[in-house]
Chain A
Amino acid sequence: MTTYTAIKSNGLARILGSLEVRMLGLALVLGVILSLLSPYFLTQNNLLNILDQSVVIGIVAVGMTFVILTGGIDLSVGSVAGLTGIVLGLALQVMPIPLAILAAAFTGGGIGLFSGVLIAVFGLAPFVVTLGVMAIARSLAYIFSGQTAISAIPYELSNIVYTSIFGLPANVLFLLALYALAWAYLTYTKGGRTIYAVGSNAEAARAAGLNVLFYSILPYVISGALAAVAITFSIAQILSADPLAGNQMELDAIAAVVIGGASLYGGRGSILGTLIGVIIMVMIRNGLNLMSVSPFWQGTAIGSIIIVALLADRLINWRSGR
């Protein structure tokens, strides 16, 4: 309700823009504070480190953005990452690296298709479906892995992370390219705009001849496949596939998307906002690590910042909206 009043007075473009701008401002303020608190923060190594740490969660957050834009939610990404990691680990024993990565991505996409069909065709609640899939995927990950991590990962896989192009590591370049691609898709294609329209008013979208069914399912497929891609980058770094990997990754991804200004009711949000959200999250964690804050306090810190940031935004909207 309040968001609509805000739109009425300010105009849609301004609100979308301004939330991103505000969050970008928050990121800069955090950066300044952290660089004052820790001399190591603003070093080139550390900044590259932040980007590197953003890769896995950043990739998952792209899929999550697609899902949340349609008004859905995908709680299964963490478990799907765990399961597809195991699939990758097993596939690497029998096939070349590119095929193994494809196998993992197809597994993730297939699981997303399953959730998407249940949600869009049978009208089940996204929360419940993906909660169920989350449990199934994690359990299958344990069964397929035999309850232990697969450490026989070929060393060559790490090339997808450590190959340097134009002075940037390949995984960071991949992340930036993925965001550019997702942004272009959501902004300039029929499919991308349909995803927004489905989340904003599915009935109107259907009445205007848009393929609501297809574009309600597609985001879950993308989300599942990207979970597999994300865990591939993670495995490439640690050269081990753990059935427990990706635990609670969905919460980080959802938090990043929400910090980036997306509405959980769908229709509103941007891929650029999500990138800023991811960086804010990683930056906080990185800064706290630099200051040697106990990892047990980090959850409190990140949770508080999410809540305070969103509350501040809502209060600003209230004031300007009335």
Chain B
Amino acid sequence: MRAGSKKDPQDMSVASESTVRQAMLAASDIAKRFGSTQALAGANLEIQSGEVHGLLGANGAGKSTLSRIISGHIRHDSGSITYRDKPFAIRSTRDALRSGIALVAQETSLAPDLSVLENIFMPEFGTRGRLSYSDLNTRAHAILSRLGHDHVLALDTEVRRLSAAQRQLVEIAKALALDANLVIFDEPTSSLSPSEVDSLFDIMSRMRNDGCGLIFVSHRLEEVLAITDRVTVMREGKTVAGNLDTSGLAQGDIIRHMVGKDLGAIYARRDPVAPASAGPAVLEVRNLAAKPAVRDVSFAVRRGEVLGLGGLIGAGRSEAVEALFGLRPRDGGTIQMHGKDINPRTPAEAMRLGIGLVAEDRRAQNIVPDFTVKENLLLAHMGMRNGVGLGYGSRQVKITELLTRLGLPPDRLDTSLLTYSGGMQQKVIIARWLLVEPTVLILDEPTKGVDIGTRSSIYAILRDIAEQGVAVIVISSDFSELLGVCERVVVMSDGLSIADLPSSVLTEEKLTLLAAPRTSTERNVQFLQSVSKEFAGTAFWALLGTEELICLGAVSSVDAPEIDLAPGQAARNDQTAIPQALAKRESRFVPEPDKAVATLLLPMRNKRGHDLGWIGLSVRNDRPLPDADEIAIRVATLTNAEAPIGVDQ
């Protein structure tokens, strides 16, 4: 592998610019199997000291498994790992910590009732001898000042009272207290605000300058471009691109490696958008909020339609439908059913309104383990029922019919549901909801942990019930499944619904690009809103290629010219309403020849010069144009806000 990678020109450039850097950790051809799932096969990773190395991949690509192998949480089945030129002999997290490898996980491993100081030195509590608190105090101050946070964090504070960012800091300090020099950050930024992300990156660059090797596992492409030196991309348990130099990368390159197809392919096809079932919306959700996971979600679903809610794990999709279903409190937004406002506060109320939810976690949210199959099947029926008795008898005919339709054994109703396979359990849960005949049925990851055969029969059931006039909403992290099953997909990212597109114009690559969480989304959309209002135009945010663009956000004011760009839309530049502007990309308003519209395009770049997309503003040409320079300054300020504030280098 190493011999092969030397031929890679990008690798050469890294080698030449760095002074005698050698691999701190080199893992090659790692394989790991969990039961019947091959989590890793042919995974490679090489980390040098003094670098931040991005480890990227889609959901289930094996990033976390590889991280956990390196940090000693689990052991690999085959493959070789050398750490500091010696064979890797790490069999436990304790071994890993002793050799200086630490994992800073998303869900921190801190003890909430202990103080910051005690948490930082927790691993030492397991060693013999007395600990001197004054000594620990001095060391803690030294570590925090190395991180640039001395006197910001009181050492005697209980960890439960810290913010997510402060906990992360304690976690990092804990790693440094063990003299860790290889630190793995697994999605460290997902619960942090943009300014907290900046301060984390500040800490990470200090650690890099001190010679640590850092692995940064993340879905967030903007952040990967902002902090990493090199990246390794994994797909389906395998390393598909190793040691790419970040400076030469664009978001599109990374996505291409992640999904394994050429990004260009997605522009080739621009099918006319099918006027998907033109009926009125049965359920319409506007600006739904349930903080912190759901911030602003809007979508509508029609009778007989299968609508997908796509996005990455943690995008807030489950939380959004749970808020809709009355399982969690809502902070804002309106829900309409058949055009009338509804306000379900409990699942029972939502069910009476005709909504059903097959929740995500089968074991925790759906199955009553001590009940028989029959009672589990009839649970929602019981929840809907008024009166004292069970009314099981009245459902017998319907049950038999449903079981036959779903291919479930009708004679095993009195056994425990736990004796059924995962796929059969899922069918029983779906049947539970079909039995109460909902108008809107929501299914959250309906094929999770389900075998392939059952999967296709679940798809058939979904199409079947949609044909019978039920409005179906499917949440799935499997994008090919989503595109295969749904007619339309609403993409969510970071608690926001950012695109609503028919499946016919979507591909896995496009979904991946849209779903990638962007720390800057909220700020940019706010900017678009204010600019479009102020200048009576259409403001948009798009990734521009030489031939094509992907629109990430677009806001029009009342009086704006029609330029036909919607979030999530991908188009060839010459097929848009503003081909001239897209071709010239000058820092002034470019008029289109035969239309009364002029467009200003301004690039957004992070402080390392990576392309974060372009901000465009289209206004009507028949009145005085706004001052392009002033807007350019505002766009520049926007991205400068990404630079760390108050960094003293």
Given A193-B390, A209-B384, verify A4-B369 contact (CB < 8 Å).
yes
B interface, size bucket: 35 or more
Q: Which B residue's beta carbon lies closest to that of A12?
A: B416
For B414, what are the chain A residues with a Cβ–Cβ distance below 8 Å?
11, 13
Q: Mark A179-218, 1 if CB is under 8 A from B, else 0.
A: 0000000001111011011011101111111110000000
Least distance between B396 CB and chain A CB atoms (Å):
16
> In the complex where A190-B388, A209-B383, A209-B384 touch, is A4 in contact with B365 (Cβ < 8 A)?
no
Least Cβ–Cβ distance between B411 and chain A, in angstroms: 13
Q: Is A7 an interface residue (CB 8 A)?
A: yes
Q: Is the CB of A7 within 8 A of B368?
A: no
Q: Is there an interface contact between A210 and B383, defined as CB atoms closer than 8 Å?
A: yes
Most chain B C-beta atoms within 10 Å of own C-beta, residue among A13, A204, A210: A204
Interface check B419, CB cutoff 8 A: yes
**Cα A69 to Cα B387 with chains together (Å):** 22
B23 within 8 Å of A (CB atoms): no
The residue in chain A whose Cβ has the minimal distance to the Cβ of B350 is A209
Is residue B366 within 8 Å, beta carbon to beta carbon, of the partner chain?
yes
Complex interface: chain B residues within 8 A of A204 (CB): 364-368, 379
User: Which residue of A is nearest B325, CB measured?
Assistant: A207
Question: Are B388 and A191 interface neighbours, CB within 8 A?
Answer: yes
Instruction: Give B249 Cβ to nearest chain A Cβ, in Å.
Output: 43
Contact-residue size bin, chain A (C-beta under 8 Å from the other chain): 20 to 34
**A138: Cβ under 8 A from any B Cβ:** no
Asked whether, in the complex, the Cβ of B364 is within 8 Å of the Cβ of A203, the reply is: yes
Query: What is the CA–CA distance of A170 and B419 in the complex, to the nearest angstrom?
Result: 45
Enumerate chain B residues within 8 angstroms of A191, measured Cβ to Cβ: 388
| Cα(A197)–Cα(B351), bound, Å | 18
Task: Take A12-B416, A188-B389, A189-B388 as given contacts and tell me if A207 and B359 are in contact as well, using a CB distance cutoff of 8 Å.
Answer: yes
How far does the alpha carbon of A291 sit from the alpha carbon of B585 in the complex, in Å?
Answer: 104
Bound-state Cα–Cα, A8 to B416, Å:
7
Which partner residue on chain B sits nearest A265 by CB separation?
B370
**Which residues of the other chain, B, contact A193 by a CB distance below 8 angstroms?**
375, 382, 390
Contacts of A200 in B (CB 8 A): 368-371
- Whether the Cβ atoms of B419 and A8 lie closer than 8 Å is yes
Instruction: Kindly state the separation between the CA atoms of A196 and B379 in the bound complex, as whole angstroms.
Output: 12
Q: Is residue B395 contacting chain A, with contact meaning CB distance below 8 A?
A: no
Q: Are A7 and B357 in contact (CB under 8 A)?
A: no
**Is there an interface contact between A268 and B383, defined as CB atoms closer than 8 Å?**
no
How far, in whole Å, are A12 and B372 apart by their CA atoms in the complex?
7
Are the C-beta atoms of A12 and B390 separated by less than 8 Å?
Answer: no
Alpha-carbon separation in the docked complex, A185 to B67 (Å)? 53
In the bound complex, residues from chain A placing their C-beta under 8 Å from that of B359 are 207
Cβ-defined contact, A201 with B418, below 8 A: no
- With A190-B390, A267-B370 known as contacts, the answer to whether A203 contacts B365 (CB < 8 A) is yes
Q: Say if the beta carbon of B432 comes within 8 Å of chain A.
A: yes
A207 touches B416 (CB 8 A): no
Chain A residue numbers with a CB within 8 Å of B347 are 206-209
A11, closest chain B residue (CB): B415
How far does the alpha carbon of A8 sit from the alpha carbon of B367 in the complex, in Å?
14
A7 with B327: CB separation less than 8 A: no
Q: How far is the CA of A268 from the CA of B388 in the complex (A)?
A: 21
Query: Complex formed: what's the CA distance from A208 to B377 in Å?
Result: 10
In angstroms, Cα B118 to Cα A163, docked, is 70
Interface residues of B in 400-455 (CB under 8 A from A): 414-416, 418-419, 432
Q: Which residues 339-385 of B have a CB within 8 angstroms of A? A: 346-348, 350-351, 357, 359, 364-372, 375, 379-380, 382-385
Contact A209 B364, beta carbon cutoff 8 Å = no
Once the chains are docked, how many angstroms separate the CA of A185 from the CA of B7?
77
Q: How many angstroms between the C-alpha atoms of A211 and B351 in the bound complex?
A: 13
The answer to whether B365 and A210 touch across the interface, beta carbons within 8 angstroms, is no
A197, chain B: closest CB distance, angstroms: 5
Q: For A209, list chain B residues within 8 Å (CB).
A: 346-348, 350-351, 380, 383-384
With contact pairs A4-B418, A201-B364, A201-B368 given, residues A206 and B379 touching in the complex (Cβ less than 8 Å): no
Given contacts A12-B415, A191-B388, A193-B382, contact A7 B369 (CB under 8 A): yes
Q: Is A197 in contact with B379, judged by CB distance below 8 angstroms?
A: yes
User: Which residues of chain B come closer than 8 Å to A205, judged between CB atoms?
Assistant: 368, 379, 383
Given contacts A11-B416, A12-B416, contact A210 B369 (CB under 8 A): no
Write out the residue numbers on chain A whose beta carbons fall within 8 Å of the beta carbon of B357: 207
- Complex Cα distance, B351 from A149, in Å, reads 54
A7 CA to B371 CA in the complex, in Å?
Answer: 11
- Pick from B371, B372, B380, B387: contact of A190, CB below 8 A: B387
Chain B residue numbers with a CB within 8 Å of A11 are 414-416, 419
Determine the chain A residues whose CB is within 8 A of the CB of B383 once the complex forms: 205, 208-210
The winner among A188, A190, A191, A207 for most chain B CB atoms within 10 A is A207
Most chain A CB within 10 A, of B346, B350, B370, B388, is at: B370
Q: Which B residues are in CB contact (< 8 Å) with A268? A: 370
Minimum CB distance partner of B383 in chain A: A209
Say which residue of B368, B415, B418 sits within 8 Å of A197 (CB atoms): B368
Q: Is the CB of B416 within 8 A of A201?
A: no
A204 to B360 alpha-carbon distance, docked (Å)? 11
Query: Which of the residues A13, A196, A207 comes within 8 Å of B366, measured between beta carbons?
Result: A207
Complexed CA–CA distance, A11 and B346 (Å): 33
Rounded to whole Å, the gap between the CB of B283 and the closest CB of chain A is: 18
| Closest chain A residue, CB of each to CB of B417 | A12
In the bound complex, what is the Cα–Cα distance between A211 and B370 (angstroms)?
Answer: 18
Cross-chain contact A189 with B369 (CB below 8 angstroms): no
Residue numbers in A under 8 Å from B388 (CB-CB): 189-191
Chain A positions 254-272 with a Cβ under 8 Å from a chain B Cβ:
267-268
Please give 15 more A-B residue pairs, beta carbons under 8 A apart, in addition to A4-B369, A200-B370: A8-B418, A8-B419, A12-B415, A13-B372, A188-B389, A189-B390, A193-B382, A199-B370, A204-B367, A208-B382, A209-B347, A209-B350, A209-B380, A210-B382, A268-B370
- A-B complex: 9 closest residue pairs judged by Cβ atoms: A209-B383, A12-B416, A209-B348, A267-B370, A200-B370, A208-B379, A209-B351, A208-B383, A208-B380
List 22 A-B residue pairs with CB atoms under 8 Å apart, sorted by A's residue number. Answer: A4-B369, A4-B418, A7-B419, A11-B414, A11-B419, A188-B389, A188-B390, A190-B387, A193-B382, A194-B382, A196-B371, A200-B370, A201-B367, A204-B367, A204-B368, A204-B379, A205-B379, A207-B327, A207-B365, A209-B348, A209-B380, A267-B369
